[in-house]
Structure 1
Amino acid sequence: MRRKEKEAAEVTKDVKEVTNEGEKAVEHGETSSAEASATNGAQNGDLQVEPMELPPFEIITGDRIDPFVFKFQFKNVEYSSGRNKTILCYLVDRGNTMDGLLRGFLEDEHAGTHAEEAFFTQCLPHCDPATKCTVTWYVSSSPCSACTAKIAEVLKSRKNIKLSIFAARLFEWEEEEIQAGLKALHAAGCKLRVMKPLDFSYTWDTFVESDDQPLNLWEDCKENYEFYHEKLADILE
């Protein structure tokens, strides 16, 4: 119950902050044109609400993650309210090739190609079958069922790729299709593990615009790791 209460308190805090910001904007006359239109329409007895349009889907790529984004998206809470995207940090070691070690991150937005699939099309579109590639992912949550199937397919067809996935959280781990997908990944040779507290610190130092400031881990980081570690072990046994 303690974890649920903390998550509920966190969500309530976020809602209050958004509400307060909205009230402040109204006090200073900073309402949007859509809000003004709706208000005028209501006063005239004809309420008109303009539909909200989401920007087009895109995959964001980069070298360093914003520290506030990292702390929110990678927090290993059990109930991940508002964390509806995936951030994938990657390391690719191609041995003694001239390319050396590749490092970066992918972030998916809205609905469409997920970061896991985009990695193989954008970061590793071609890989010499004769060259061994060791790929390591640090992801904000484990892959969905569709992504696990696609990843397993890649690993079966491209035997030279060895993939390790370290996940901050397990995505919908109670669903049977998710569990089946994780088992299929494991059977395809993918190393699956939940991120330990030290992994969060390593990811922070390697992929975040930290200005050399250390990561202060949240109070229940170790407890949440143990929870997810046990769940993953049960799924893969």
Structure 2
Amino acid sequence: MADKSQTLIKKKERKDKEAAELTKDVKEMKNEREKTGNDGEVSSAAAGVNNGAVANSQDGDFQVEPVEIPPFEIITGDRIDPLVFKFQFKNVEYSSGRNKTFLCYLVDKGNTVDGLLRGYLEDEHTGPHAEEAFYTQCLPHYDPAIKYTVTWYVSSSPCSACAAKIAEMLKARKNLKLSIFAARLFEWEEAEVQAGLRALHASGCKLRVMKPLDFTYTWDTFVENEEQPLNLWEDCKENYEYYHEKLANILQ
């Protein structure tokens, strides 16, 4: 009974911290919108917040409230909105409200004719996940005679189902090399998620947590940044080290 009570207490503490983190981030986004002259509005689409959307109360404070949002289809594009990037890719430990996966990709087919394929996908975890959609929308015409070098910068690591599918794909397509750099680890405490990450690693996928320099590179390459530099959040390096240690322990 004591262990069960302790577990419930920890879960409540986590939810409280998630709510606090989410409210803090959306307040920061509101301030940035005000600075850029966007009437101070932060839409759920821009913030990427669902099942935990933020509503403005009468006294001006922001509160986390559950809302129902209809399913979104996979979205593709060339450049991400800067405020969306800062919210979705922030490598916080508690990521409540970040229910999308953003996948920025680079594809090198080993020739100069096609050049380097670049873009991003986003999902809402209500239909096909971004990892699965990448192969159907970005590499629909797979050629076994071509050597593919694929790099992903993702807002969170793959779920167990996606990890299993990617691992099987890599075993079947020996001419495709995949590197995944993740801002956060998705539900890394779950045994099935850990097994999926190990399966990915065993299949030859290069799996790593994003370093501070990776966030800057992604900002410069995939974000509509108007040539403004990325100001990293103060705990970016600390959070990287936290996730790096967790991933190293999982892949041992």
Class of the TM-score when normalised by the shorter of the 2 chains = 0.7 to 0.9
Deviations 1:122-161 (A, max 9, x none): 1012222111000000000000000001101111111110
* Aligned mate of 2:98, from 74, 78, 83: 83
Residue equivalent to 1:132: 147
2:188 pairs with 1:173 = yes
Query: Structure 2: which amino acid aligns with 1:9?
Result: A
Q: How does 1:15-26 map to 2 (within 5 A)?
A: 18-19=54-55, 21-23=56-58
User: 1: CA distance between counterparts of 2:91 and 2:191?
Assistant: 21
Where structure 1 has 5 or more consecutive residues not aligned to the other structure, the ranges are 26-51
Deviations 1:51-110 (A, max 9, x none): x87434300000000000000000000010100110000000001152121000000025
Deviation, 1:6, is 7.0
Contact 2:78 2:222 in 1 (8 A): yes
User: 1: CA distance between counterparts of 2:26 and 2:143?
Assistant: 50
Identity %: 82
Deviation, 1:9, is 3.3
* Aligned mate of 2:243, from 208, 228, 235: 228
Counterpart of 1:78 in 2: which secondary structure? Answer: coil
Deviation, 1:183, is 0.4
Q: How does 1:83-232 map to 2 (within 5 A)?
A: 83-96=98-111, 98-232=113-247
Q: Is the alpha carbon distance of 1:191 and 1:204 closer, same or farther for their aligned partners in structure 2, counting shifts above 3 Å? A: same
Query: Structure 2: which amino acid aligns with 1:101?
Result: L
2:25 pairs with 1:10 = no
Q: Is the alpha carbon distance of 1:24 and 1:170 closer, same or farther for their aligned partners in structure 2, counting shifts above 3 Å? A: same
Residue equivalent to 1:37: none
Query: Structure 1: which amino acid aligns with 2:197?
Result: L
Residue equivalent to 1:63: 78
TM-score, normalization by structure 1: 0.81
Contact 2:25 2:87 in 1 (8 A): no
Deviations 1:159-211 (A, max 9, x none): 11000000000000010000000000001000000000000000000000000
Taking only aligned residues, the RMSD between alpha carbons, in angstroms, comes to 2.3
Contact 1:7 1:77 in 2 (8 A): no
Residue equivalent to 1:49: none
Query: Structure 2: which amino acid aligns with 1:190?
Result: C
User: 1: CA distance between counterparts of 2:233 and 2:241?
Assistant: 14
Contact 2:17 2:94 in 1 (8 A): no
Query: Structure 1: which amino acid aligns with 2:163?
Result: T
Q: Is the alpha carbon distance of 1:13 and 1:169 closer, same or farther for their aligned partners in structure 2, counting shifts above 3 Å? A: closer
Residue equivalent to 2:10: none
User: 2: CA distance between counterparts of 1:191 and 1:110?
Assistant: 24
Deviation, 1:213, is 0.3
